[in-house]
Chains A and B, each alone.
Chain A
Amino acid sequence: DQQVKQNSPSLSVQEGRISILNCDYTNSMFDYFLWYKKYPAEGPTFLISISSIKDKNEDGRFTVFLNKSAKHLSLHIVPSQPGDSAVYFCAASSHSSNTGKLIFGQGTTLQVKP
């Protein structure tokens, strides 16, 4: 029962262009969404989050968009840099669960070519 899905296992973009990573969820109780970036042999690093009361949150080169009716969120990275090459995970949680546990997607490997 995969409640959070990242359907693209990999994405390759040219340096300077936009990277768009997508994520779909099925549980309508999810109300907090996060993106994490992970390098090999390291733990996930928090990038950006969004609450369900918003539809957009921006932090520097990173913007997360949330479409609640479609149960879809996306992460935009502009401009993409070679150092952005990593695995990106989206994650979701529900305040009503009272635990804060995160449900992760399978990840998308982003490669930014110089």
Chain B
Amino acid sequence: NAGVMQNPRHLVRRRGQEARLRCSPMKGHSHVYWYRQLPEEGLKFMVYLQKENIIDESGMPKERFSAEFPKEGPSILRIQQVVRGDSAAYFCASSPPGVSTQPQHFGDGTRLSIL
């Protein structure tokens, strides 16, 4: 009965490197959301995916950021050529298919630090 699993929990990268954040949704959940939380702020929506499809990426920066949720395996949030401003906590949430009034359940996040 595992919840939403995110790894790594902490990730340190130097400016210009790539960061890959992984998220495995709860069993039976096919909807995945990524949110970013900057210090002292609330969570900001980034992207919503279903298996093999990006449904809404309206919150994702246009450059350097990409997300995928393949048929097999976890969802990946990828940040290329990281900059200091990418330092944040990145949370993944999942929800069951088809019912939009089901609450999203969150993982414990990946804390990304850029040196």
Residues of A within 8 A of B (CB): 4, 6, 32, 34, 36, 41-46, 49, 51, 89, 91, 93, 95, 97-107
Contact = CB atoms under 8 A, between A and B. Distances in A.
Contacts of B69: none
Nearest to B9: A41
Contact of B101 (A41, A51, A103): A51
Contacts, number: 68
Nearest to A49: B103
B100 A100 contact: yes
A89 B43 contact: yes
Given A44-B91, A106-B42, A32 B104 contact: no
Given A43-B91, A43-B109, A44-B91, A100 B43 contact: no
Interface residues of B, number: 29
Question: 4 tightest A-B contacts by CB?
Answer: A43-B106, A104-B42, A99-B56, A46-B103
B55 interface: yes
6 contacts: A43-B91, A51-B101, A99-B48, A99-B56, A102-B35, A106-B42
B95 interface: yes
A99 B55 CA distance: 7
Contacts of B6: 43
B14 interface: no
A103 B4 contact: no
Nearest to B40: A106
Given A43-B109, A44-B43, A102 B91 contact: no
